[in-house]
Structure 1
Amino acid sequence: MLYSLIRPLLFSLDPETAHRATFNAIEKVHRLGLLTGGPIPCQPRNVMGLDFPNPVGVAAGMDKNGEHLEALASLGFGFIEIGTVTPRPQPGNPRPRLFRIPEANAIINRMGFNNQGVDNLVANVRRSNYYGILGINIGKNFDTPVERAADDYLICLSKIYRHAGYVVVNISSPNTPHLRQLQNAEELDHLLGLLKSKQMELADEHAKYTPLAVKIAPDLEPPQIASIAALLMKHQIDGIIATNTTLSRTGVEALPHASEKGGLSGAPLRERATAVVRHLHGVLQGAIPIISVGGIMCAADAKEKIDAGASLVQIYSGLIYRGPQLVSEVARALCASSVPDLLCPGSG
């Protein structure tokens, strides 16, 4: 209810300014002790060898540098994913680079992996008092040639390994030149081989096995999805996140900002992301767990992802449009012993 009152004010601001203002407010409320909750109670779900206290996480991009872990945890998330982080700090693409499309509950971004670098992120994590499951999403610097991308991923993996609950290899952002090329079979086979070898080396070094997941795009054709799934199984990758933002503009045609370059997220991505989850589930047959993200605006959307084969869900754009209440709404629905037929607000 409170968020519905302040959302018009936030939406009157530039999206990046509103993002910072929202986190400043959450931090202040948290420090006053008014946000003291933890994960929504649930039967823990064992995924990738980790016990998730509830199946609802925050997607990468919300807290790129790991600066707000405790405040985010107080909203009830079962896990938090930070990043995408790169070896060196980089400013990202020029502003403006983030656009709301409220008529469609959608967002277009072309942020370009803006972050303060992996060393800064590690320092933030070490200072934090967050002890829940932490995913760290890694990428390459914009000026690293794609044929040297593995070097960047290996640097990040080595530096974050001991601090992460799981690590996500982001090869699917549409906003870093040539990054999605790494989803091609030959490039992906090479990258996964190097990462798996480093993962096992680091597991021995730290006496700790940190699962490795890969985040893929929603704009893949079924043969590409099947090829990626086969490579993930070949290299014994621990998880897959489906999906990143889409280059499609289906659902926002002719709306303001629809022609902006970048990846589209929010409600128009829901069906496309669910279709990828469903196809992956059919190919993987439970061999690798799926974390689903894309278009979750209410509990019914999250249940759709679980029914399609996902083990966990993540939210981002829904949090911007619906506010913190979405976390508890989704978690309580998915944690209920019997889930009734659900409808999104305003539907049906």
Structure 2
Amino acid sequence: MLDERWSSDAEEIGNALRKLLAVESAIERVRIAEGSTDGRDRALEAALDAFGLSDLEAEPDVLARIAYELGRALAPVAVVESLPALTVLRRNDVAFGFDGLVPAALPYAAVQRSDGVYIEKVLGMPRKSAAGDFLVQHQSNGDGEFIGDSAIADRLLRLMNLLDASRMVGAGQALLQYGVDYANEREQFGKKIGGFQAVAHKLVEAGIVLEGAELLVRKAAFTALERAGGDGAPAPVFSMMVLPKAIEASRLVATTVHQVFGGNGFAMEYNVQLFSRRLRSWAMRRERPGKQLAALARTMLTAEKRDAVKYLWNHDSGLPLPRWAREADRKA
């Protein structure tokens, strides 16, 4: 049966990591890293290495929770980008590089070619991103070490989708809480602005959408588990859903919180822009989600594929379609 909660291991490691990040990735440290010459916080990198992230062997739900906490703290490290290769290839110095942009902090990138996955040395000039870190538009020279076939490539991609989505949801939850706290403190016309329905309703709506995205992250992580029939990465349908949903939800949260803050949301002394710039940067690094959403639609409109999908509901396989979709299915 589908379990939509974080596992006990994920909760334990996530809570311990949150305590560490509260000190080692406090918002002042994030600002300092952004103003540095390379966007890195080496003290944080060392703390996470001591925590055990560089040689971690963990279930996919634990990896998703780690990405969630790193996103929530806006941690200026290249851990999320390195987790797929660490998990699948047992290499902790390799970035996921299927979409070209990779962190300058990592010396190697896993790239996809027509015959499979290769590890290449990162080539290109680092540039500062909107998130304050440094990225390289990796230029493949055709060299590199062959790692595996298209099945390995697919597994890396599905796992990266989950981790990217989890990081965005974590940052979105922290940003939403920041907006709620501000609404409960800021006064206009002798009243807390959170008491105005126009403000409260926007925050509630954003919270509902973000909760849906987090639920989907936890579902996707569950489908990756061996006991759920997974291979360490989310089932293909959940992988196609989870990243676009996280992008949509995090953008709604950023827009809403900026509106709650008004002009203050664009002032550098407030933290709204720290979150919104990073959420946008993380989304823009990946290929636009249109292809994945189109593939998802084709799956749902193909009876054989649709009926094989598991875990969309707690007990059922497949997906009952509305009348308009059944008619489109027959015409196809």
The structure richer in strand per residue is 1
The structure richer in helix per residue is 2
Same fold (TM over 0.5): no
